[in-house]
Chains A and B, each alone.
Chain A
Amino acid sequence: MGGSAMGMAMRMGVEIVAALGIGFFMGWALDEWLGTRPWFMLVGLVFGAGAGMLNVYRIASGYSYHAGYSVDEETGGDKDDDGEDQEDQKDDERDQDDGVDGASRPRNQE
């Protein structure tokens, strides 16, 4: 709480702990299921640590709230007014054919 630097620090802390916890828990659950006691747990911890650091890196480098990898950073840069927006929702749903990074939104072409 308090200033934004403090808030940032707290966010990063939560981010690391949460990722570690999830990694640990997933590994532990796999171990319980497969009966391979320590191994998946350890691997999960390592992956969790990696994910936590990745999240912190993303926060620190201004990727802000994006958890996934993001190609273009401007989320809705231009504020076009309400009028002409209903129709480009349709072609948004149909763009599965093109490549992975083709998922960038087509709404900026006006």
Chain B
Amino acid sequence: MMKQQFRIGVGTVSLLNIVVVFLFAIVAVLALVSARADGRLTEKTMETTAAYYQAEGAVQKKLAEIDASLQRGEDPSAQIEGVTKTTDRYLLLESMGNGNSLLVEFIEEGLTYRIVRYYVKAAENWQPQDEPALWDGQ
């Protein structure tokens, strides 16, 4: 009985090598792309956080002015920029850049104010930066 000898043909190693290098290249590129995307997200988060605290600082300075204005018995909406009066409350709007704003709603209580809402108002006309092309199901 003849034993069949196992042999690697010419080109098999090359083919295997190309496949392995190709797979490694894909993993390396994916790792780099992912790290870069994380970097962009980190920068964006840092910018947004800095803008929020900047706007909050401006709001606090205006609240000091509002408090002084109410102490004097004056209407803050007539004197301080960004303050508007509705039927039952005042609104203080401070821009955070990128379309978002910090909105403070407060009511007059005697000669001072009481904050009833303090939140970030997202831009109404917000659009995603890149609209992904999604499969429409057809």
The answer to whether A binds B is no
Residues of A within 8 A of B (CB): none
Residues of B within 8 A of A (CB): none
